[in-house]
A and B are shown apart, each in its own frame.
Chain A
Amino acid sequence: AQSVTQLGSHVSVSEGALVLLRCNYSSSVPPYLFWYVQYPNQGLQLLLKYTSAATLVKGINGFEAEFKKSETSFHLTKPSAHMSDAAEYFCAVSDPTNFGNEKLTFGTGTRLTIIP
């Protein structure tokens, strides 16, 4: 079974500061990993995904994440926070070898607040 753990249900950063949202995964096989963002009262949008190619993945809105197998981590970063980044962020994992049954398992989410 796969799982993800997001450390910190709430994170606050000042505008212009570094954003770091943490995600650790558990998987018996090399996983696919994802970050999704959710704005209030909306569905989720894909930020970026890791599918066993480059370990540093760049996504939309200036976000990136690095897959570190030794640390079983896939932390999300952005060099300089913007007010529009305020949202809830979800890390998710899937098993790419489970053909025909690719389901995502989501973390519990991290709410990001940007301080003006």
Chain B
Amino acid sequence: DGGITQSPKYLFRKEGQNVTLSCEQNLNHDAMYWYRQDPGQGLRLIYYSQIVNDFQKGDIAEGYSVSREKKESFPLTVTSAQKNPTAFYLCASSPLPGLAAANVLTFGAGSRLTVL
């Protein structure tokens, strides 16, 4: 079955450490997204990519970095510069931008990061 795989599901990190969250999709989608979810704040966009080797900052990109070396993969690094990294992180993908279906996101199951 096609879908999005996020790993790890749970992750603990000490302050000052960088951590990378994996996101892989086999849907042949062009666009991929990273959202952060905090209680009572909904989903906020961190980064998105519409094509390999290109990505754009979302609303809360500070303290995060991404890469898009392959169409299937869009890893997110939470750096030590992110002041409050404890959150639930969701990866999503959608078909080619410009198509009506581009607005419909397919989500992974999420990664919960806790900073100790």
Contacts and interface: CB of A to CB of B under 8 A. Distances in A.
B98 interface: yes
B97 interface: yes
Interface string B22-48: 000000000001010000111111001
A86 B105 CA distance: 22
The 6 closest A-B pairs by CB, nearest first: A43-B107, A108-B42, A106-B43, A106-B42, A44-B107, A100-B97
A41 B35 CA distance: 14
Given A90-B42, A108-B42, A102 B97 contact: yes
A109 B48 CA distance: 22
A25 B81 CA distance: 34
Interface residues of B, number: 28
Contacts of A94: 103
B103 A51 contact: yes
A99 B42 contact: no
A103 B44 CA distance: 11
Residue of B58, B103, B105 with highest tally of chain A CB at under 10 A = B103
Contacts, number: 62
15 contacts: A34-B104, A41-B109, A43-B107, A44-B90, A46-B104, A49-B103, A94-B103, A100-B98, A102-B102, A102-B103, A103-B45, A103-B58, A104-B103, A107-B42, A108-B41
A106 B103 CA distance: 12
A90 B58 CA distance: 19
Contacts of A101: 97
B75 interface: no
B109 A43 contact: yes
Interface in B102-116: 102-105, 107-110, 112
A42 interface: yes
Interface string A86-101: 0000100010100111
